[in-house]
Every structure is written in C-alpha cells, then in structure tokens.
Amino acid sequence: MTPLELRHQVRSGQFRQPTSGYCGAYAQANLVILPQAQADDFLRFCQRNPRACPLLAVGEPGQWNLAALGADMDLRSDVPGYNVYRAGQLSAQPLTLHEIWRDDLVVFAIGCSFSFEQMLMDAGIALRHVEQCKNVAMYRSNIPNIAAGPFGGNMVVSMRPMKARDAIRAIQITSRFPAVHGAPVHLGDPALIGIADLDQPDYGDAVAVAADELPVFWACGVTPQEALRGAALPLVITHQPGYMLVTDIPNASLAAF
Amino acid sequence: MTPLELRHQVRSGQFRQPTSGYCGAYAQANLVILPQAQADDFLRFCQRNPRACPLLAVGEPGQWNLAALGADMDLRSDVPGYNVYRAGQLSAQPLTLHEIWRDDLVVFAIGCSFSFEQMLMDAGIALRHVEQCKNVAMYRSNIPNIAAGPFGGNMVVSMRPMKARDAIRAIQITSRFPAVHGAPVHLGDPALIGIADLDQPDYGDAVAVAADELPVFWACGVTPQEALRGAALPLVITHQPGYMLVTDIPNASLAAF
C-alpha cells in the first residue's frame, strides 16, 4: 500500500487504526491545527524548539491540501483519528474535520520518531519497545522549552535502551535526520534531566534497561502537545496519538547529509 | 609558525620538544617505520583496525618524502624524537635516521587524536586533561584487534570525561573525522570494555570523572604501538610519544562530510 492508497482508505473510512507499521519507508507526521490568531506564536515556538517540534510543513490559513506533504491530500479527512480540544479540554473525536473547518485554520505537520526508528532498525539496531510490541516510554524532563507567546513548559523525551556501541551508532544515524527529532538530547543518568524513575513513564510503556545498556533520550513530539495543553487555547485540533498523518515524503529523503 | 617552518626547525635541531599545541590547525601524525618484510602485514593490520590505526599515508619502500603529508618533507629528520626498537626492545633514540636508513624501510603515518581534540575545543567542548595540562588517560581495553600476521592484541583507548550533551556533540564531531580515530568506541561503564579502574590508566594521567559526566572512550594510536611491541620485530622505528610528525594537512580537510 502506498501512502496515497492508505490516505484514500482513511478518507473513505476503511482505515481506522494506528498507523505504526504502515508505509515504513515514508515519514509519518504529528498534526497540529490552530486558528491563525495563535498560529504565529506556535510557529515561533516550533522554530525555537526544533528538537521537539521539527516542522515538516506549515500551511497557509485555511489550506487543507499541502503539496509538500503529499499528493491529493485532504487534511480534513486523511488522518485516521482527530482530537478536538476547546479551552484545553478534549471536546470531540470526529471522523473528519469537514463540519468544523474554518478559513483561518493553520496546519502544522511535525516530524515523528517513527522515521528515525525505521532508520535505526534498518541499521540493525534492535528497539526493545518494538520487539515487545509496546508504545515507546516517554517522560517529562526538566529541560525547559524556549517559550513563545502562551507556549512553554518542559521537553518530553522518549527513551530507548541501548548498548553503548548501538547508542553511538544511533547518535550518528539520527543526527542525519533533524526533521524527525535528530540526535538524542541525553543519555545515561535519567536524574540529570529530572527523571526520577524510568519504571514510571509519563506516557507509553516502561521497558527494562539492562545492566550493560544506557538509556538514550530523544526529544519527543508529545512536547508540543503538552505546550498546547498548557496554553488552553479556544480551539486546537490534533491527530489522535498513534493515528498519524502518513506522508509521501521518503524517510531517506530527510537525511541532512 | 607554519608546519613547514616547524619541520625545518626540527631538521636543523632547533626544535626538540613535544609538538602538542603547535600548528593546531594541521594534522599531526604517529609515525611507524618498518622493513618491507613486515610492512604488508602491518598495512593489513591497519586496514582491519581503522579506528585505532587510521592511515594518513603509506610510503613506497625506501621513500622518506611523502608529498601526501607535506612539502619538502624528510621523514629521516623532521620528527623531533625517534625511538628505534630492535627485537622488541628500545635500542636507540637518534636525532635523525640518516645513519640507519635503508632502502627497504616503509613509512606509515597514522592519524592522531590531537586533530579531533582541536575540533572539539573549537566547538566549545572543554577537555579536562588539556585544562589540567596532563597527558590524556589511556587504558588497555578487552576489545580485540583483528589480527594480521604477527600483529594482534587488544585496542588501547583514550578517555575524556564529558557531560551527556557534550558527549553527544563529540560523537557528531568526531564521526566526521574517521582519518583521526573517528567516533568513540564506547561510553559509560568502563567495566564493559575491560577497564577495572579509571584512576589507574595504563598510559598517561588520570583525570576525575564527575558524577554528572560519562567517560567517553576513543580508539587510541597507542594500539599499533602495543601491537608492534607484541610482534617483537627485528627493527621498528617510531616517533617518541608526544613528539609527532607535523603535517601540512589541515584538520578541517579531513572531514568526511
């Protein structure tokens, strides 16, 4: 199935499930949709925090078809699950956005760790949460985001345990992909970035870190979600966690060098 | 002072000291000179262990002027200190090699960590041994070299303590310079590569590793020295530790990407 075929299945209502494992060679994206009144602040927030909020594309107000992300795309219908927040609270999970679309809504597509995880696995680096069919473990760190307007808070990080040799290789590989979170932000002692207990992730599922492994931490796309929640805006639309936008962008094309 | 000016001072006997801190923008090299009878095995050893033995240049038998390393070079006189080993034992420290030069001697120039240390410092990463005016701490690891002929043994590693953020950046920077040892081979728990006590280096000087730091380990140019000693060849000539060959190769030109 090509990304376009998958999006067509989503659009027709045939595909309603998490997108992990589909179209693995192509970038999946976190979706954020905001009224223009808040969009400029959010764009500056992303620009200032590129590890957590690497932008693949930003639309014009009202634009729901971003050619930079793929052909024949309708962002009002091509994501298999939407969350609509009003005043910071989840208010609806519509199947499409057609009824609530407005001419002032601005689309942000933010790179996703699925892309670099694919590159790591292609390089022979095993990912424990994938092996164990779990969601990756995510933690609130004490690394402050650089604020913009109402958006601030701390960085949320994802953790993958690795032997030192694989951690070094993973740093090399992910450094090539700044558009999908790039290099790790920390490795080793979790307490140094404010994580008290690796067994108690704030999101996702815990995995064991063996005695001969290091926990390796990447900036996580949940960071902007938390920043948006903290801002308690009148209206925010996102994808549902795990139900990503599947783009036509080959992961390999995102390599910076 | 340019590298050529420094070499001329060495050749004339004016410069007889360690080369650290001189001509910092240019690569310094470890020197190994072997009879042709052993040179092929040693070349294969270097090819198989590129992290520890990254070759900048290899001469033809009898060749003492390698244009790849610099202009107007005479490797029989342009290194400020030579060690001559016979049957594995240090037998002489001549000021020049003119009296013992032979037409079957083959020169190997092996990249040196001074080059990547300069790149790290240029990037604002402090190196504790430099700050404390010490020699870098070096340890025999349990990482086996890939053997070739009489050459084998284990990798010798150098260690630099860094905060995780600097370690990640150092991995990115040194990965660009495979010709001068490249990326680290390990970081974190020293016991995992057979090092029992960081306070007891096998070469160089110990430095403290703070609680918020990781020890970061790179393959070290002492590795081929140990492999040569283990082989106990009839004749080996090297530079004296710290008294390196200063080449005309700009460090920046060694970036692989």
B175 neighbourhood in chain A, CB within 8 Å: 172, 175
Rounded (5°) CA angle A165-B32-B229: 75
Going by C-alpha positions, the residue among A112, A97, A110 that lies closest to residue A20 is A112
Distance CA(A187)–CA(B168), nearest Å, equals 8
A187 neighbourhood in chain B, CB within 8 Å: 164, 167-168, 187-188, 214
Within an 8 Å CB–CB cutoff, is residue B255 touching chain A? no
Residue B257 lies in a domain: no
| C-beta neighbour count of B87 within 10 angstroms | 10
Residue-level pLDDT at B243: 94
The reply to whether A126 and A95 lie within a common domain is no
The DSSP H or E segment spanning B237 is strand B235-239
How far B176 CA lies from chain A's nearest CA (Å)? 10
Distance CA(B169)–CA(B180), nearest Å, equals 17
The number of distinct structural domains making up chain A is 2
Q: How many residues does chain A have?
A: 257
Confidence of residue A128 (pLDDT cuts 50, 70, 90): very high
Residue B255 lies in a domain: no
Share of chain B above pLDDT 90, in %: 98
Distance CA(A245)–CA(A6), nearest Å, equals 10
CB A114 within 8 A of CB A30: no
B192 with A164: Cβ contact below 8 A: yes
Strands of the sheet with A214-219, listed across from one edge:
A137-144, A154-162, A214-219, A186-187
Residue A82 lies in a domain: yes
Confidence of residue A181 (pLDDT cuts 50, 70, 90): very high
Identify the weakest region by mean pLDDT among A17-21, A198-202, B35-39, B213-217: A17-21
Q: Running DSSP on this structure, what letter comes out for residue A60?
A: P
The reply to whether A8 and A107 lie within a common domain is yes
A189 with B183: Cβ contact below 8 A: no
Q: Which sign, positive or negative, has the C-alpha torsion B140, B144, B145, B149?
A: positive
Residue-level pLDDT at B122: 94
The reply to whether A102 and A142 lie within a common domain is no
Average pLDDT in the A125-134 region? Answer: 95
The reply to whether B133 and B187 lie within a common domain is yes
Residue-level pLDDT at B238: 97
Paired with B82 in beta bridges are B239
Instruction: Indicate the residue of B175, B188, B212 with minimum beta-carbon distance to A172.
Output: B175
Going by C-alpha positions, the residue among A80, A59, A62, A81 that lies closest to residue A70 is A59
The reply to whether B198 and B149 lie within a common domain is yes
Residue-level pLDDT at B40: 96
Instruction: Indicate the residue of B187, B212, B257 with minimum beta-carbon distance to A257.
Output: B257
Chain B interface disruption, residue of A155, A187, A193, A213, most B CBs within 10 A? A187
Going by C-alpha positions, the residue among A90, A72, A70, A69 that lies closest to residue A81 is A90
Quick: pLDDT tens for B24-81.
999 999 999 999 999 999 999 999 999 999 999 999 999 999 999 999 999 999 999 9
Task: Count the alpha carbons within 13 Å of B244 in the hemisphere toward its beta carbon.
Answer: 26
The reply to whether A19 and A118 lie within a common domain is no
Within an 8 Å CB–CB cutoff, is residue A257 touching chain B? yes
Give backbone dihedrals phi and psi of A136, rounded to 5 degrees, phi first. Answer: -65, 145
Within an 8 Å CB–CB cutoff, is residue A212 touching chain B? yes
Chain A interface disruption, residue of B187, B213, B217, B257, most A CBs within 10 A? B187
Distance CA(B115)–CA(B24), nearest Å, equals 8
B167 neighbourhood in chain A, CB within 8 Å: 187
Quick: pLDDT tens for A34-52.
999 999 999 999 999 999 9
CB A223 within 8 A of CB A46: no
3-state class (DSSP) for residue B39: helix
Residue A257 lies in a domain: no
3-state class (DSSP) for residue B44: helix
The reply to whether B43 and B77 lie within a common domain is yes
Residue-level pLDDT at A221: 94
Residue-level pLDDT at B143: 98
Residue B176 lies in a domain: yes
The reply to whether B107 and B118 lie within a common domain is no
Residue A45 lies in a domain: yes
A165 with B183: Cβ contact below 8 A: no
- Mean pLDDT over the full length of chain A: 96
Chain B residue at shortest CA distance from A189: B212
Which burial class, exposed, middle or buried, applies to A18 when counting CB atoms under 10 A from its CB (0-12, 13-18, 19+)? middle
The reply to whether A140 and A196 lie within a common domain is yes
B164 with A172: Cβ contact below 8 A: no
State the ipTM, two decimals. 0.89
Question: Which structural domain, as residue segments, surrounds residue A178?
Answer: 114-223
Average pLDDT in the A167-183 region? Answer: 97
A168 with B165: Cβ contact below 8 A: no
Residue-level pLDDT at A13: 96
Residue A25 lies in a domain: yes
- Mean pLDDT over the full length of chain B: 96
CA-based end-to-end distance of chain B: 29
CB A112 within 8 A of CB A244: yes
Give backbone dihedrals phi and psi of A56, rounded to 5 degrees, phi first. Answer: -85, -35
Q: Running DSSP on this structure, what letter comes out for residue B41?
A: H
Instruction: Indicate the residue of A171, A184, A188 with minimum beta-carbon distance to B214.
Output: A188
Instruction: Indicate the residue of B171, B212, B257 with minimum beta-carbon distance to A168.
Output: B171
The DSSP H or E segment spanning B11 is helix B3-11
Give backbone dihedrals phi and psi of A21, rounded to 5 degrees, phi first. Answer: 90, -5
Residue A194 lies in a domain: yes
Average pLDDT in the B196-209 region? Answer: 97
B164 neighbourhood in chain A, CB within 8 Å: 186-189, 192
Q: A162: domain CATH number?
A: 3.30.2040.10
CB A141 within 8 A of CB A195: yes
3-state class (DSSP) for residue B184: coil
The reply to whether B217 and B235 lie within a common domain is no
Within an 8 Å CB–CB cutoff, is residue B182 touching chain A? no
Distance CA(B250)–CA(B179), nearest Å, equals 12
Q: B80: domain CATH number?
A: 3.40.1640.10
DSSP track, A239-252: EPTT-PEEEEEEGG
The reply to whether A105 and A8 lie within a common domain is yes
The DSSP H or E segment spanning A84 is strand A82-86
Paired with B203 in beta bridges are B138
Average pLDDT in the B104-133 region? Answer: 96
CB B77 within 8 A of CB B33: no
Chain A residue at shortest CA distance from B191: A212
Q: How far is CA A227 from CA A111, A179, A199, A215, in A?
A: 16, 19, 24, 25
Paired with A89 in beta bridges are A86
Quick: pLDDT tens for A118-127.
999 999 999 9
Distance CA(A132)–CA(A95), nearest Å, equals 30
The reply to whether A187 and A98 lie within a common domain is no
Instruction: Indicate the residue of B168, B186, B214 with minimum beta-carbon distance to A171.
Output: B168
Instruction: Indicate the residue of A164, A187, A257 with minimum beta-carbon distance to B168.
Output: A187
Residue-level pLDDT at A8: 98
Strands of B7-126 (E only): list them.
26-35, 55-58, 82-86, 89-92, 105-111
Give backbone dihedrals phi and psi of A251, rounded to 5 degrees, phi first. Answer: -50, -40
Helical residues (DSSP H) of chain A, grouped into ranges:
3-11, 36-48, 113-122, 128-131, 164-175, 222-231
Give backbone dihedrals phi and psi of A87, rounded to 5 degrees, phi first. Answer: 55, 35
- Token pair, residue A156, equals 């949320």
Instruction: Indicate the residue of B168, B188, B257 with minimum beta-carbon distance to A164.
Output: B188
B187 with A212: Cβ contact below 8 A: no
